[in-house]
């Protein structure tokens, strides 16, 4: 049992949480932003802020726009449209957090000064030190890079101790558990094994970046209320991806 699990104290002092667009429109909804889903995420984040965990988030935009599926639209332009979708999700999350009195800042990789700050790593660190949640939007500001890669990059830039990947499943499996009933979940996994086997929970560029910088990844089920707190206090849920033996 980890120390955090035993006494309820955080195992990580500063984390970056990667949220896909699905976190904002779960279940049978095909798109858009669902207020209840967004509020669920906000409540979980408020729990870890109350524990003193410095919290940053990278949001995806797939609930609104998936650039790679945009037939007939130039890839560069489609990716920029996807970046704008992430800004919408970031603002929705900021609204949900501030409704429960969690001070939040949105920083974007594309300049849009009327609604968000520009991404400045030093400023983001200062916000975190003051107990504010920081939401990073618009990806890396350039096409051809996923928000997973953005999450790894931002986590390193702000000095996060772990990258948390909230998903619809409770970890990394040997196969798709929705297709293969014999699929088994890994409690722990090495970066090299994740890359070699091509598990699609997180893209290879992001995993390689974490491996090069020894940044642990925790893949877990975001839909279970309280799971973010469980991860940061060391409870053995989800899959820990690391460089150990």
Please give the pLDDT value at position 1: 34
- Stretch among 15-29, 38-52, 125-139 having the lowest mean pLDDT: 15-29
Please give the pLDDT value at position 143: 94
Per-residue confidence band for 139, with pLDDT thresholds at 50, 70 and 90 = very high
More confidently predicted of 235 and 4: 235
Total domains in the chain come to 1
Q: Look at residue 174 and tell me whether its pLDDT is greater than 70.
A: yes
- Residue-range definition of the domain harbouring residue 86: 3-242
Please give the pLDDT value at position 90: 98
Element (H, E) at 194: helix 191-197
CATH number of the domain encompassing residue 211: 3.40.1160.10
Element (H, E) at 105: strand 104-108
Global confidence as pTM: 0.93
Per-residue confidence band for 27, with pLDDT thresholds at 50, 70 and 90 = low
Q: How far is CA 170 from CA 84, 186, 215, 220, in A?
A: 29, 10, 20, 5
């Amino acid at each position: 049992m980890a120390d955090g699990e035993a006494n309820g104290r955080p195992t990580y002092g500063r984390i970056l949480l990667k949220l896909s667009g699905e976190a904002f429109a779960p279940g049978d909804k095909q798109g858009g932003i669902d207020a209840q889903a967004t509020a669920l995420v906000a409540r979980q984040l408020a729990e870890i802020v109350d524990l003193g965990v410095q919290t940053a988030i990278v949001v995806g935009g797939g609930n609104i726009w998936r650039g790679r599926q945009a037939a007939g639209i130039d890839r560069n332009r489609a990716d920029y449209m996807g970046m704008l979708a992430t800004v919408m999700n970031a603002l929705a999350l900021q609204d949900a957090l501030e409704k429960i009195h969690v001070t939040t800042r949105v920083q974007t990789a594309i300049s849009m000064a009327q609604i968000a700050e520009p991404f400045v790593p030093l400023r983001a660190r200062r916000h975190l030190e003051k107990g504010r949640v920081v939401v990073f939007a618009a990806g890396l500001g350039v096409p051809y890079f996923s928000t997973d890669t953005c999450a790894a990059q931002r986590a390193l830039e702000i000095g996060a101790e772990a990258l948390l990947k909230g998903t619809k499943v409770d970890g990394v499996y040997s196969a798709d558990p929705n297709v293969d009933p014999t699929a088994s979940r890994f409690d722990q996994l090495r970066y090299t094994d994740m890359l070699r086997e091509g598990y699609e929970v997180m893209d290879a560029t992001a995993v390689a970046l974490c491996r090069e910088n020894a940044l642990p990844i925790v893949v877990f089920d975001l839909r279970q209320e309280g799971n973010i707190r469980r991860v940061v206090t060391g409870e053995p849920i989800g899959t820990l991806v690391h460089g150990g033996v």
